[in-house]
Structure 1
Amino acid sequence: MDVMRTRIVATLGPASTDTKIMKAMAENGVRIFRLNFSHASADKFIPVVQMIRQVEDELGIPLTIMGDLCGPKIRIGEVEGSPRTIEKSCLVELGLTGRVPSPEGCVAIGVDLPQVLHGLDVGMPVTLSDGMLQFSVEKVLEKDRRFLLRAHNSGILTSNKGITFPGKSHPLPALTDKDKVDLHEGLAIGIDAFAISFVQTRQDVEDAKEEIKRHGLWAPVVAKIERENAVRNIESILEAADAVMVARGDLGLECPLAEVPVIQKRIIRACRHAQKACIVATQMMLSMVNNPVPTRAEATDVAGAVMDGADCVMLSEETAVGRYPVEATAYIREIAKNAEEYFLERVQGPYAPKKEKNLVKYMAYSACILAETAESAALVAHTTSGATARLLSSRRPAHPIYALTTSKPVQRYLNYFWGVRPRLADMNVENHLDRAQSFVQKSSLFKPGENVIITSGQPTPGQPRIHTNELKVYYK
């Protein structure tokens, strides 16, 4: 069943909150189910978590539950006479909510957060309604408080729509008070990982990790890259995050849309070099909300993300509210399988590390080369923290990677990584190498006479801490 290397993330919603549908999606390769805290609180997700665990038990495979936190989404307040028609070249006043419209008598829009207006100046872009209305600052009426905006196109303006300031830095932390409540309540009901919205710096990720630590648990943090600041700070964000998501919806509002495809490629590459998972999200198969098949362009988009080396591809509306959630995952699976074959053909062997004195990277690379040379059935890695499996995955070997760990949180974290099939290790066997060999011997995945490449680590007199220090060609 588990033949894909690329992982599928599926968002749950009214169209898919059913154990039969979840099971069918998991059989199509979904390993991560996303719960969107923009639409519900933790108590509403309790039955959903129970359903996912039921499917996990029935299929005998680990499934990861990711809570997606809202973050500081900036919205305008009520617009008098909403909906209002905005004509191209007309003027709109922007200020704090509740202020009197300017003497020009133009439409007034307000925001509740004064920080987002600080530093706004003539010529700077402003967008509304998911980018459908585009403006620039025509005049500063009152520094950091009131502005006239010139419309660059016509459209309909309604109340409570999102507003963005492309390229402008905002002094707003990614984790809001609501997010902190959702995070702690989510951990309490059994959510495995959290995606943090509107990350701008490494500190945003560290703040989320600190909140998780306060709960007395460990859970991976996925940094959503949807602001231009995050793109600029991607290297430092990757040092702190456990995975990142290329959230192309808001990213396409913050950055010029023409640049988003290249930004996606750069982030995927940076993730692989940092051994962190990369999720590509937003409108991957949006037409399947209403149609039983994707468009040719959508199929090409999914294949492109896979051939760029993404670890995961994510479905949002397609599985949350769409009419064909199971079919959408089936199409993703088939497209990904075909794209993976071409990807492996193109790269012609595992990626070699840069010329650096990095022993663990070279051991992972060596294991992949051995697997090719010995025509092995698989790579088997005993990994306490998941680091060894991540290193193997970053080399993008053709062989499946079976990652044995003693930690359920680590097992579910490893669902994010390309080619990794996480399994719980047999705690009745003490030695790491023996655990790996026992797994091969007992598993029906491997035929007698087949070999696997095992990576493991045991303390030695000169290396008291456990690190990967063994490679073995093991014949069943």
Structure 2
Amino acid sequence: MELKPKTKIVATIGPSSLDEKILYEMVSKGMRVARLNFSHGERKFHKNAIDMVRKVSEELEVPVAILADLQGPRLRVGDLREEILLKEGEKVELFDIGEGGIEIPLSLIFEDLKEGDRILFDDGRIKILITEKEKGKLKGKVIQGGRLKPRKGINLPDTELSLPPLTKKDIEDLKFAIEEGVDIVALSFVKDGSDAFEVRKFLGGADLPIVAKIERPIAYKNIDSILENFDGVMVARGDLGVEMEIEMIPILQKEIIKKANKKGKLVITATQMLESMVENPVPTRAESTDIANSILDGTDALMLSGETAVGKYPSKAVEYMAKIANATEENLRIDSFCCPEDITPAFSISSASVKVANDIKAKLIMVFSVSGATAITISKMRPICPIVAFTPEESVRRKLSIYWGVFPLILKTHASTDQMIEIGEKILKEKGLVKKDETIVIVAGKTPAKGATNMLKVERIE
């Protein structure tokens, strides 16, 4: 068991990676979260992916969390009979799905649209300005031309949509994900913090972290509300880069990550991290720098999308991401980010454990955590050494797999904390994580229960 990289790697499972041998390589090289993109693939595909990931995880004795990424209210062009060539300056009309011509889901968005709004197609490659609204159709002017193809995505950067956060498809996908025991849920096209309540209605008491994908200007505007109500955020640079000025994306990324860390929330950075590796066996220098800078910004995890879903080199993409993360973590100091408004005893103990571990150059911090909360708090303080978190719950173990610097192991609850520490140290030695005379920092509770963290201890391995 390797305690690196501390930055966790999320890899999307697709046709290129739904293979036991390839998944084995990906987990061996550093994948700790498998993403299922419910915008693509049938239910059977996702079921196979879950079963295969669980099998590989068990064989390698490495926890791998499964992230269900819901499609959300994604807007698309209709099934056009043929491509439509749109020329700059051309006047056009847009109709509802099934009415011919340029078909968009007009009935869903007509009331929200206004004259002067832009409609972007195909990741912003084509742009139309709305000049007039009439009953059942829109009139517009092409401000950036191109070939409009069927089923291409639609973005509305100037429009505040009133669509519900969950579509009928999302609700069915969420039910399936819960039945299959996924570990994290990501919600697309989030508007504000209230969207989290809509998702929780369907969780049925399931303790699933919900991650908000920041993809639209309205989500960035409401980032404080989102961080208050969601368990984490994903900096989804794809749609965000379409709907906002592309030169602002690096600044927005840094601001979102900083705010998320200050609130002690999970943060994932996604989209085009190693885009060139969809076709090429090695990344570009710019991609390497992008990964390093995202780590220095304070991201918990980095996400691969097309690179592992449809790319030619899925396991190599994971390998290079891990190499770049390791080099960044070994050569550059990553600052502490967590600064909560309410200082609890558990936070004080966690903060002290990081200071002590850094001062004495501890081999690792050993944490006993029923819910995982203490391990997550310590993670946000970015200790120099890794965090080995013991938890009695397999679901918590998998959930912790996505947090920076946390390497979770299973240890059933025992009658006394002393007994748990003794068994924990034995496991560390058996796995080769510590050797005689090395120093570790221990964080636990006098009673092994949820929310009972109140003990800090320094111990030399015998």
Q: TM-score range by the shorter chain?
A: over 0.9
Structure 1 stretches lacking a partner, 5+ long: 101-107
Secondary structure of residue in 1 paired with 2:328: helix
Relative distance call for 1:111 and 1:85 in structure 2 (3 A) is closer
- Mapping 1:175-194, distance limit 5 Å: 175-194=166-185
CA shift at 1:384, angstroms? 1.6
Structure 2 stretches lacking a partner, 5+ long: none
Worse-superposed segment, 185-194 or 127-136: 185-194
Q: Is this contact kept in 2: 1:115–1:170, CA < 8 A?
A: no
Relative distance call for 1:452 and 1:113 in structure 2 (3 A) is farther
CA deviations 1:226-276 (Å, max 9, x no partner) are 111111122221222222211111111222222111111111111111211
Matching of residue 157 in structure 1 with residue 148 in structure 2:
yes
* TM-score, scaled relative to structure 2: 0.93
Matching of residue 382 in structure 1 with residue 380 in structure 2:
no
Q: Which residue of the partner structure matches residue 241 of structure 1?
A: 230
CA shift at 1:139, angstroms? 2.7
Q: Is this contact kept in 1: 2:95–2:138, CA < 8 A?
A: yes
Secondary structure of residue in 2 paired with 1:416: coil
Matching of residue 458 in structure 1 with residue 451 in structure 2:
no
Relative distance call for 1:351 and 1:87 in structure 2 (3 A) is closer
CA shift at 1:88, angstroms? 0.7
Matching of residue 263 in structure 1 with residue 252 in structure 2:
yes
- Mapping 1:223-372, distance limit 5 Å: 223-344=212-333, 347=335, 350=336, 353=339, 357-372=343-358
Q: Hey, what's the Cα distance between the residues in 1 that align with 2:252 and 2:344?
A: 28
Q: Which residue of the partner structure matches residue 210 of structure 1?
A: 201
Give the one of 411, 435, 447 matched to 2:435.
447
Q: Hey, what's the Cα distance between the residues in 2 that align with 1:185 and 1:379?
A: 37
Secondary structure of residue in 2 paired with 1:211: coil
Q: Which residue of the partner structure matches residue 411 of structure 2?
A: 425
Q: Hey, what's the Cα distance between the residues in 1 that align with 2:99 and 2:51?
A: 48
Give the CA RMSD over aligned residues.
2.2
Relative distance call for 1:458 and 1:233 in structure 2 (3 A) is farther
Give the one of 168, 191, 195 matched to 1:200.
191
Matching of residue 410 in structure 1 with residue 399 in structure 2:
no
Secondary structure of residue in 2 paired with 1:94: strand
Secondary structure of residue in 2 paired with 1:368: helix
Relative distance call for 1:343 and 1:207 in structure 2 (3 A) is farther
CA shift at 1:291, angstroms? 0.7
Q: Which residue of the partner structure matches residue 467 of structure 1?
A: 452
CA shift at 1:406, angstroms? 1.4
Q: Is this contact kept in 2: 1:167–1:255, CA < 8 A?
A: no
CA shift at 1:418, angstroms? 0.6
Q: Hey, what's the Cα distance between the residues in 2 that align with 1:356 and 1:465?
A: 19
CA shift at 1:129, angstroms? 1.4
CA deviations 1:47-67 (Å, max 9, x no partner) are 322221221122111111112
CA shift at 1:459, angstroms? 5.2
CA deviations 1:409-431 (Å, max 9, x no partner) are 1111111111001111233x223
Counterpart of 1:204, as a letter, is D
Q: Hey, what's the Cα distance between the residues in 2 that align with 1:252 and 1:89?
A: 24
CA shift at 1:357, angstroms? 4.2
CA deviations 1:381-423 (Å, max 9, x no partner) are 1112111111101111111011111122111111111100111
Q: Hey, what's the Cα distance between the residues in 1 that align with 2:190 and 2:284?
A: 31
Q: Is this contact kept in 1: 2:106–2:137, CA < 8 A?
A: no
Secondary structure of residue in 1 paired with 2:457: strand
CA deviations 1:282-303 (Å, max 9, x no partner) are 1111111111111111111111
Share of identical aligned residues, percent? 36
Secondary structure of residue in 1 paired with 2:76: coil
Q: Is this contact kept in 2: 1:49–1:190, CA < 8 A?
A: no
* TM-score, scaled relative to structure 1: 0.90
Counterpart of 2:84, as a letter, is R
Matching of residue 32 in structure 1 with residue 23 in structure 2:
no
Secondary structure of residue in 2 paired with 1:456: strand
CA shift at 1:209, angstroms? 2.1
CA shift at 1:356, angstroms? 6.3
Matching of residue 126 in structure 1 with residue 127 in structure 2:
no
Q: Hey, what's the Cα distance between the residues in 2 that align with 1:233 and 1:434?
A: 47
- Mapping 1:7-26, distance limit 5 Å: 7-26=8-27
Secondary structure of residue in 2 paired with 1:413: helix
Q: Hey, what's the Cα distance between the residues in 2 that align with 1:410 and 1:85?
A: 52
CA shift at 1:122, angstroms? 2.5
